[in-house]
Every structure is written in structure tokens, then in C-alpha cells.
A and B are shown apart, each in its own frame.
Chain A
Amino acid sequence: MTIDLIRDVLDTQVLDRRKQPLGKVDGIGLELREGAAPRVAYLEIDGVTAWRRLGARYGRWAARIASRWQHEGHPYRFRWSQVLDFGIDIEIDVDAHRSPPLDLERWLSDKFVNRIPGAK
């Protein structure tokens, strides 16, 4: 089976092993090898990566804003060997719960949502 990286993989929804949304495939990293075809080194989930595709300046703006909530582990990368299922969405063998792509979700929960009654 051949996969067209740009057409079939880039911008696809990524889910964790419990089918919780992690984000989109915002970037793809290739590894160049001497005497062999390049291979996929990692797939990246990070809003800053997506904005950088629009232009370097937008990438810098996005990075400055995202630094408010991003902790360690950005840009978040996973390997193809972690892919459990590849269809409409890409399911990978991680737990979204404490993962870096959900930093914004946790930040908003702490700063805003959980402080308002009725959020539970």
C-alpha cells in the first residue's frame, strides 16, 4: 500500500488509544538517508507548526501566544510505529490525558472553565 503523505496524512485528525482527539497532523518530518529513499521520521501535532506553514511571521506570532500555555514536549512528535489504525482518522498508541497537545485544554480548564459554576 502506498500512502500520499500530503494528501492522506497531513491535516488528518489524530486520536489516542481511547479515541480521544489529540489534534491534527500539523507537520511531517522526513529523514534523508545515504543511498536509500527518505523515510518518515515523525509526525508532528502542534498549532505553531500549522501557522508556520502560512509563513514564518505567523509562526513566530503563534509561538509567542502559545508560550503562555505550552509546557515541555513541544512540538509534540510521534512515530509511524505508534500508529494503531489509519483510516478517516489516525489512532495512535498514547494516552491523550496528560499529553502535551492538550496543554491548551488544561490551561483553559484551570484558568477559566473550572472556575465557573456548572462546568462539571
Chain B
Amino acid sequence: MKKILGIALGIVTSIGGFLDVGSIATSAQAGAAFGLSLLWAVLLGTICVIFLVEMSGRFSIVSGHTIIDAIRKRFGFAAFIVPFAATLLVNLLVLAAELGGVCVALQLLTGIGFQLWAIPVALALWMLLWLATFDMVENGAALLGLVTLCFVVAIFVLGAEPVELAAGLVPSLPAEERTHYLFLVVSIIGATIAPYLFLFYSSGAIEDKWDKSFITANRVIATLGMSFGGLISMAVIIVAALALKPQGIRVEEFEQAALMLVPAYGGWGFYLFVASLAIACFGAALELSLASAYSVSQAFGWNWGENLKPREAARFSTTYSAFIAAAGLIVLVGLNPMKLTLFSMAITALVLPLTALPFLVLMNDPRYMGSHVNSRFSNAVVALIVVLTGILAVVSIPLELIGSK
């Protein structure tokens, strides 16, 4: 009974925790510019993230290691540290984008510029981590995140054609704006398969002391949680396609995206969007700060854990404090939050192979996994999606940079 409750909670938290600034921004822009034709990118990313999250849970259950800890041991410090530093830098950019998302939501609500919110929002985030425990942080943020289900409900209010939805799930290339389309493909996949998601999940499995009786529970949580999460991302594309595209509204700023729920809910739609944006970004910022501090601690063998008081894990709590401060400064500089988000997501896709491929090597090493090594099929799915997206990122990021000048 306790396990069923745990599974249910795991699924609910994955749904509530799935949407972040990246999914909202990329999906809103994709739907407004290209209608339903980018749904397949979310589908592809979701398939990959289901596999990766299931693997990261199984890895921690079977080997007793966290992923970072094991990658350092398997490949050695010198080979590990450079890709690790790159991943941390990208995490920092994404954290800045998430904080920026919360600040933009507050700007939409109050009219006070988002930069002025950078310090209060960063401080609120930091205080929550400093004072609260892991379960409060994880479950609280994720339960509030269920407000993002309003995007799914909006599809039914607006009425979508099932045939057109199905057509969007088949990869295609538009006649115009191909470079921007490919850049959005990369950003959407980067937003869906964020490395912090499975690093966080693997740390959670260790912190919650999952044993081998959780192998099936892990599979159920990963599959259902990530599928439902992916559905919400798709819902954002669909709502943007139905509500914004027919009126010719392009999403260059969050202000335009904020209108997408108005046709479905009237004036309340604006507030629902603002609440979804604020909660989803704040929840993701919590997870991201923790995941980064976990990773650094696991890389250097420090004691770590959000259930420890700050003074029991001084290096751990200093790490997330420094991360949040740095991200707050990036928001304060005043880069366009929408652009910052899209580029962070694209760069995430670019560095994804740096974590995902060494992780795949570990998943096939019987010294860690025993009889629970990966099947060839799951290796192929993850390697193919991650490598193809990485190559696409190398091509499309420079093209988008040239085009946006």
C-alpha cells in the first residue's frame, strides 16, 4: 500500500515538475509560428527522457551509486571534469532562465520590470532551500505545478481536430523559415531532456533509499510521469497553435505567450498563464539548484542531501547558494528572458551527449549493473536521439545566431 502511494506521488510530482520555462517558451513559440507541425519534437524528446529517467532510477537502485559519482570513477577525474564543468555552466544558464521566468510572471502581474524582481526571487528560492527539507521542496513544488494542467483542459475548450493533431506527430519540414524551425526542434528537445532531470531523479532514488523492490515502481513512475509531462508540453503547443496562430500573433516575448489561454478562459486565462509560468519556473529552479549542488558534491565526495541542515553540509549548501546568486546576477543584467531561454535550451541539447553517452556506457557495464544492464533497444533509442539532436544543435545554433542579427 505504501508503495502504491509512493508510485502515485512519484507520477504526480513528475507531471507537476515537468513543465519549466524551457517547455513553455519553446512550445509557445513553436505553436504560434508553426502550428501543430512541431508536436513530433516533443514526442521524440519525451520518448528519450522516459528511457533516461528509467535508466537513472535503475542505475541508482542496482549499483548504489549516483550517476555523477560513477562517471567520475569509471572515466577518471581528468576525463570527467571538463564535460562536467560544461554541464554545470549550462545548468547555470538554465537556472537563470528559470529565475527569469518567475520574474517575467511577476512583471506581467504587477507591471514592475523583471530585472527588479531578480534579487527578491533569488532570495526567496534560496531561503526555501536553506530552511526546508527535501520532501517539502519536491512534493510542494510539484503539487502546485498541477496548475499547468489548465493547458490540457484548454484544448478541450477550444476543440482540436484529432486528425491534425496526429499529423503533427509525424516529422516534417516546412516550406519557409527552415532554419528557425530546426532551431526550435533542437530547443524543444533540449527543454524536454534536461540533464538535471535525471541527475536529480538518480539522487532522489539514493536519498529515498530505493532498493531492488523498486525496480518495477521506478519503471511505472518514469513511464507514466514523463508521458503525462510530455502531454502537457504538447498541450502548450496545441493551445498556442489554436489561440495565437490564427490571429497571426508571433511569440517573441512572454507578453504575447501570456495571451494564449485567453480565448479558452477569458480574462482568467491571463492569470492562469502567469500562475503556470511562475510556479513551473520556480519549481524547476528549486530542482535545478539542488541537482547542481548534488552533482558538485558527488563529484568531489562531499556529504550532500537536502534533508541535512545547512551546517551539516556546508560545502553542499554553499554550492547552491553560489549558484543561485550567480543566476540572479545573470537575470539582473537584463538579457531578454525569451531569447535567454531559447538559447539555454538549444545549448542544453548541445551538451546533452556529454552526460548521456558516458551514462550509457555505465548502463552497459555489468560491474555496476549485474544482470540489469540495458537492452540493445534502449541503448539504440537514447544514443540515436541524443547524437542526432547534438549534431542538429551544432548546425542550427550558429544559423539562428546569424539569422537573428
Q: A70 to B303, alpha carbons, bound, how many Å?
A: 18
Q: A10 to B301, alpha carbons, bound, how many Å?
A: 13
A-B contact count (CB 8 A): 71
Please choose the segment from B219-227, B309-317, B331-339 that sits at the chain A interface, where 4 or more of its residues have CB less than 8 A away. Answer: B309-317
The 8 closest A-B pairs by CB, nearest first: A24-B301, A108-B314, A23-B301, A119-B310, A109-B314, A113-B314, A119-B311, A11-B73
- B residues contacting A by CB (< 8 A) are 63-65, 69, 72-73, 76-78, 81, 127, 130-131, 300-303, 309-311, 314-315, 317-318, 321
Q: Is the CB of B301 within 8 A of A53?
A: no
Q: A19 to B321, alpha carbons, bound, how many Å?
A: 26
Nearest to B311 among chain A residues (CB) is: A119
**Closest beta carbon of chain A to B128's beta carbon, Å:** 11
Q: A14 to B73, alpha carbons, bound, how many Å?
A: 12
7 contacts between A and B (CB under 8 A): A106-B314, A113-B311, A113-B314, A113-B317, A118-B127, A118-B131, A119-B311
What is the size category of the interface that chain A forms with chain B? 20 to 34
**Closest beta carbon of chain A to B130's beta carbon, Å:** 5
Seed contacts A10-B76, A13-B301, A108-B315; 9 additional CB < 8 Å A-B pairs: A6-B76, A11-B72, A13-B69, A53-B76, A54-B78, A105-B302, A105-B315, A113-B317, A119-B130
CB-defined contacts of A106 to chain B, threshold 8 Å: 314
CB-defined contacts of A119 to chain B, threshold 8 Å: 130, 309-311, 317
Q: Is the CB of B63 within 8 A of A120?
A: no
Nearest to A11 among chain B residues (CB) is: B73
Q: Is the CB of A116 within 8 A of B130?
A: yes
Q: Is the CB of A21 within 8 A of B302?
A: yes
Q: A53 to B79, alpha carbons, bound, how many Å?
A: 10
Q: A6 to B127, alpha carbons, bound, how many Å?
A: 42
**Closest beta carbon of chain B to A58's beta carbon, Å:** 9
Q: Is the CB of B65 within 8 A of A47?
A: no
Interface assignment of A20: CB less than 8 Å from any CB of chain B = yes
Q: A120 to B72, alpha carbons, bound, how many Å?
A: 32
Interface assignment of A114: CB less than 8 Å from any CB of chain B = yes
Q: A20 to B305, alpha carbons, bound, how many Å?
A: 12
Interface assignment of A50: CB less than 8 Å from any CB of chain B = yes
CB-defined contacts of A10 to chain B, threshold 8 Å: 73, 76
